[in-house]
Every structure is written in structure tokens, then in C-alpha cells.
Amino acid sequence: METTIATGSAINANGALGERAETQRVFDVPCTITVEQSPEHFHAHVDLPDGVLMEAGDKVRIHGAPISIPFGSREIFERTATITRAGPFKRALIKAAAYFDMAELYEVSFDAGRIK
């Protein structure tokens, strides 16, 4: 059972995102899910409408039954996604945390001695 957080659709009659979607913190949009399970590929990819840009801290919740496909196949599903935008504080906190997490990937040291 699912709870709908946002009421109404953020998609206008032309299939594009309306201005209302950009100002709402929580809104629903249609999405396309591509799932492939084969010896070469094992992935699930979600495509959102062109006007929806995800930023740091934003969340996406896909509605519908769990997806299961047989091995060796590729299928495409149409679902509804609920986008929850992060607030300014959370967005800044996640960007700062990401910066310091990135710094853990490299190490720089200066040694007074010569390399032998």
C-alpha cells in the first residue's frame, strides 16, 4: 500500500513540466524504468522527464509493484515517481560531506628525503 504525498500532476497538457513542479518540495512525475538482466548487463535505470533535474539531497521514490524479470531479458516499465527536493541546509550539508568524502580518495604527502 502506498501513500500519495503530492496531489495533482506536475506535467502539463504538452507533456512538459509545469512551473508549479519547480517550486514544489514534493511532486509526482511519470518515469520510465529500463531493467536488463543478462550476461553482459545487470542494471535498472530510471529516466525522468526532461524538465526534472536532480540535485544534491533530492530523493526519488518509484511507485508500483516490485520488478522481476527473467535472466537474459530487457524490459521497460512506465511508473510514477515522487520527487522530494532537499532544503537549502540539507543540500549544503550533503555537498560539504561529498567534498570531504572525495578528499579521502587521494592522499598527498611531502617527504623531506629523496626518493631512493
State mean pLDDT over 64-82. 95
- Looking at the predicted structure, is the pLDDT value of residue 14 above 60? no
> 10 is written with which cell numbers?
506536475
For residue 10, count CB atoms less than 10 angstroms from its CB and return exposed for 0-12, middle for 13-18, buried for 19 or more.
buried
State mean pLDDT over 18-45. 84
State mean pLDDT over 43-64. 93
Alpha carbon distance 82, 35 (integer Å): 19
- pTM of the complete model: 0.63
Alpha carbon distance 50, 46 (integer Å): 12
Mean pLDDT, the chain, integer: 79
